[in-house]
């Protein structure tokens, strides 16, 4: 019979406690809100292995498809991040909203932060993705790029405006309508998330 090491047992018990704690209600201390486009610190989900997503029924069929594909592409890129869809907006972590992003942006993500009583770090508690697309009814590569980019923010990634990184990350910040070919999460994005989450 194989013996389970005490260390392994303690680690798995600790993980169970962590998962329970992350999902528990009533231990939050403070909630800050910030616009993900304007923050420079990296925040992560404590519940990275069970991120609950809500897709606003008022989005177009094409937008719903793009939101679903975005989460599956991020999961494929970083398997430690897992997503479950929920019909309950209030308990969702990432909300794909039908509210429009500001007119000068194709997408925008608002985030809320949370602090748990047993942990001094701030974590993501809610991310709301808004878009402002030229044709929301037609599925396109640029629509997918917008959803992938905004979902990157919802996972804790920041924009980069360094032109040399244009092809290296889906987080390149498109200003002035520049054409960008990168729509999938790139190696740089994957490495950053793996480092941030410790996968």
Where do contacts with Zn ion occur on this chain (CB under 5 A)?
159
Q: Which is nearer to Zn ion, 130 or 159 (CB)?
A: 159
Residue of closest CB approach to Zn ion: 159
93 beta partners: none
Smallest gap from Cβ 173 to Zn ion, in A, equals 5
Smallest gap from Cβ 159 to Zn ion, in A, equals 4
165 to 95, 172, 189: CA distances (angstroms): 28, 7, 11
Q: Which is nearer to Zn ion, 106 or 116 (CB)?
A: 106
Is residue 13 packed enough to be buried (19+ CB in 10 Å), middle (13-18) or exposed (0-12)?
Answer: exposed
Smallest gap from Cβ 35 to Zn ion, in A, equals 10
Q: Which is nearer to Zn ion, 53 or 131 (CB)?
A: 131
Q: Which is nearer to Zn ion, 17 or 184 (CB)?
A: 184
Residue entry with tokens 């809500």:
54
Cα distance from N-terminal residue to C-terminal residue, the chain: 30
């Amino acid at each position: 019979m194989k013996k389970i090491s005490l260390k392994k047992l303690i680690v798995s018990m600790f993980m169970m406690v962590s998962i329970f704690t992350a999902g528990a209600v009533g231990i939050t201390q403070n909630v800050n809100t910030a616009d993900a486009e304007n923050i420079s610190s990296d925040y992560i989900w404590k519940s990275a292995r069970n991120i609950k997503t809500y897709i606003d029924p008022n989005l177009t069929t094409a937008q719903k498809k793009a939101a679903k594909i975005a989460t599956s592409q991020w999961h494929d890129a970083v398997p430690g991040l897992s997503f479950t869809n929920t019909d309950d907006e209030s308990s969702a972590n990432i909300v794909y909203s039908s509210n429009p992003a500001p007119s000068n942006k194709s997408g925008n993500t608002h985030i809320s932060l949370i602090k748990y009583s047993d942990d001094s770090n701030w974590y993501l508690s809610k991310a709301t993705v808004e878009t402002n697309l030229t044709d929301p009814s037609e599925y396109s590569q640029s629509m997918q790029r917008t959803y992938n980019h905004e979902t990157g923010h919802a996972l804790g990634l920041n924009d980069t405006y360094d032109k040399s990184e244009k092809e290296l990350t889906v987080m390149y910040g498109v200003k002035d309508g520049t054409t960008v070919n990168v729509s999938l999460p790139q190696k740089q994005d994957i490495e950053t998330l793996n480092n941030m989450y410790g996968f």
